[in-house]
Structure 1
Amino acid sequence: TKSAKRRLKKIGQRENRWMSDVNHRLTKTLIDHYGSNTIYALEDLTDVRFATEKSPKDQRYEIVSWAFYQFEQFLTYKANLNSSAVVKVPAKYTSQRCPKCGRIYKDNRDHELHLYTCDKCGYKSNDDRLAAMNIQFLGTLYRSGEEA
């Protein structure tokens, strides 16, 4: 009905405003905490598609709804105002590369337990933490001018 469509539109706009507010507050906190002349390394999620077909139908929207691009845009313009920079590092293998020995092996990552265990050096960590460590490492390489 017309009133139902109006209600859905109102709810959608409220969610968009909420997400924008959260992104603004997160980026402001990052800029304020780390100060000027900082390099922020973000994973380049261009053309990365989250596998929604493997998730329950009622949860698909939640998986793809966060505004990563908006977050990147907010952080970029605030970093530029603060004499800082945002670099995008390739997303390839960030959750499969061992930060200790550098081995890349897909089967070292257990998706069910969110655990990474290196078969070469024995390093163990949460796979999301591991990805964050690798993104930081790639950002450091960028800053020094080296290639990954």
Structure 2
Amino acid sequence: KYQKLRAKLQAKGTKSAKRRLKKLSGRENRWMTDVNHRLSKTLVQKFGSNTLFVLEDLTGVSFERTDLPKVLRNQNKSWAFYQLAQFLTYKAHLNNSEVIEVSAQYTSQRCPKCGTIKKSNRNHDLHEYHCSNCGYRSNDDRLGAMNIQLLGTQYISGQEQPKFELTTNA
């Protein structure tokens, strides 16, 4: 909604359109903040106290997708992930829970069954992962979530900064 309206106003280029754009950006920011507050509150309430929330560290990760149709390009990159993580962290701490960020490296390329890390096992177009080593198949987003959960388990087991590393024999 906001993206379409913004494009329309930018195309006009008039002084009044620029004023509307400024007003619109404030409204969009307030809406996004509200969504992030409600989402973080729901997560903390649903999972209760003494919960570990594991998030991917998305610092430096680009969501620029020139291969997508123009209408879909800004959907991912406009979401306020940093703000959501901040809200979740402070609300989790109020509820005796913890939030950690783990490295996003190889989480969508690692087989959760045999541990093989191979970029070519993932098919971006079909959102599918197929391990060439053990034959395991899954949705690539589900696979990433399973690997992030494993990193959280490693953190609970005492590993300070759990991450996956590419070994020479993989």
Normalised by the length of structure 1, the TM-score is: 0.93
* Higher Rg of the two aligned structures: 2
1:17 is matched with: 30
CA deviation vs aligned residue, 1:29-70 (integer Å, no higher than 9, x gap): 110011111110000001111233444444432231000000
Matches within 5 A, 1:1-148: 1-146=14-159, 147-148=162-163
Q: Which amino acid aligns with 2:151?
A: L
CA distance in 2, matches of 1:2, 1:116: 50
- Residue identity (%): 66
Alignment RMSD (CA, Å): 1.4
**Unaligned 5+ runs, structure 1:** none
Contact 2:56–2:101, Cα closer than 8 Å, also in 1 = yes
Contact 2:64–2:77, Cα closer than 8 Å, also in 1 = no
**Unaligned 5+ runs, structure 2:** 1-13, 164-170
2:8 is matched with: none
What's the offset of the Cα at 1:9? 1.5
Q: Which structure's relative contact order is higher, taking Cα pairs within 8 Å and 6+ residues apart? A: 1
CA deviation vs aligned residue, 1:3-23 (integer Å, no higher than 9, x gap): 101111122222111111111
CA distance in 2, matches of 1:110, 1:60: 19
CA distance in 1, matches of 2:152, 2:40: 18
CA distance in 2, matches of 1:85, 1:25: 18
Question: Secondary structure of the residue that 1:50 maps to in structure 2?
Answer: coil
Q: Which amino acid aligns with 1:13?
A: G
3-12 or 122-131, larger mean C-alpha shift = 3-12
